[in-house]
Amino acid sequence: MNPTWPDTREYWRGKRVIVTGGAGFLGSFVVERLRDRGAEEVIVPRSSQYDLRNIDAVRQLLADTSVTTRGGQRAAVDMIIHLAAHVGGIGANRLHPAEFFYDNLMMGVPLMHEAWMAGVSKFVAIGTVCAYPKFAPIPFKEEDLWNGYPEETNAPYGLAKKMLLVQSQAYRQQYGFNSIFLLPVNLYGPRDNFDLESSHVIPALIRKCIEAKEQGADHIVAWGDGSPTREFLYVEDAAEGILLAAERYNSSEPVNLGSAFEISIKCLLETIAKLTRFEGKIVWDTTKPNGQPRRKLDVTRAREWFGFEAKTTFEEGLRKTIEWYRGHR
């Protein structure tokens, strides 16, 4: 522990925090940890009440959550952790690229602007590994973010989120606004989205294997050829990384959040099949896209700048995810 880093519970004492997307997959774990750390008030706006794509709704949220100080002044929340996003797997991104671009851009850029206008002390922006160039050198280093165009199937989503990095740096330069930008790799874990139309690869494959076993199917079909590699971060580790950055990091240089563990999609599916006890054949549909060839992050900055290292082994995380899905279908 770096002696210059603040004490966790002391840091959050008296703080009021908005967590957009706080009822979602990652957000629910961030909210739990904030409460465990002693934050005074954790506010989770719901999309039914505040559509963050609408700037009037953003302004209303900030007005509704401001408080009157002893001096009679109105004060904004201390921090916004912006997790809300329109997300999905390759299939969803290919079908709805315009929605993924517009929704994510409009949920993020106006929110950061209005937070600055309202006097919010700190803004934590969550980007995506999809912002990296398709052929970035492995492992992905933050300084390579601009050295090429993202993988085509999710570029609109990745670029929309990447604009928060541009905004963070511009607002810090011109206004001195304290915002940070984090780049988590693909997340997985309990409470994930298991809808086959919109889910990411791990929940989709878990569901396919479990349902195939239950139905007595002799095979399952997977997209691509299994050769791409991915790095995955267990959701509870991601929540911890975000809060350590919120407590300890105050710069607009982007920072990766990852596990430093890379696995091919073929090995991933074989592992899931083993853990779910599916013994049928795996058929690869090579008419479907593979997505980005490799994804592995350099996680040096997170370790050195705010002391984050993933703790959950991949197989342990998969077991917990499978167990949760079996119990919550």
Active site residues: 157
CA dist 329 and 323 (Å) reads 11
Nearest to 168 by CA among 130, 243, 241, 116: 116
Nearest to 274 by CA among 224, 203, 205: 205
Query: Residue 316: CA atoms inside 13 Å, Cβ hemisphere, count?
Result: 9
- Residue found by looking up tokens 């993933």 in the block: 310
Q: Tell me, what amino acid is at 15?
A: K
- Residue 46 burial by Cβ neighbours in a 10 Å radius (0-12, 13-18, 19+): exposed
| Measured CA distances, 108 to 90, 122, 126 (Å) | 22, 14, 9
CA dist 153 and 193 (Å) reads 20
| Measured CA distances, 233 to 64, 264, 284, 306, 316 (Å) | 34, 15, 25, 17, 12
Q: How many CB atoms lie within 10 A of CB 149?
A: 11
Q: Tell me, what amino acid is at 24?
A: G
134 strand-pairing partners: none
Q: Starting at the earlier edge strand, list the strands of the sheet with 262-264.
A: 186-188, 229-234, 262-264
Give, in degrees to the nearest 5, the angle at Cα 41 between 39 and 47: 125
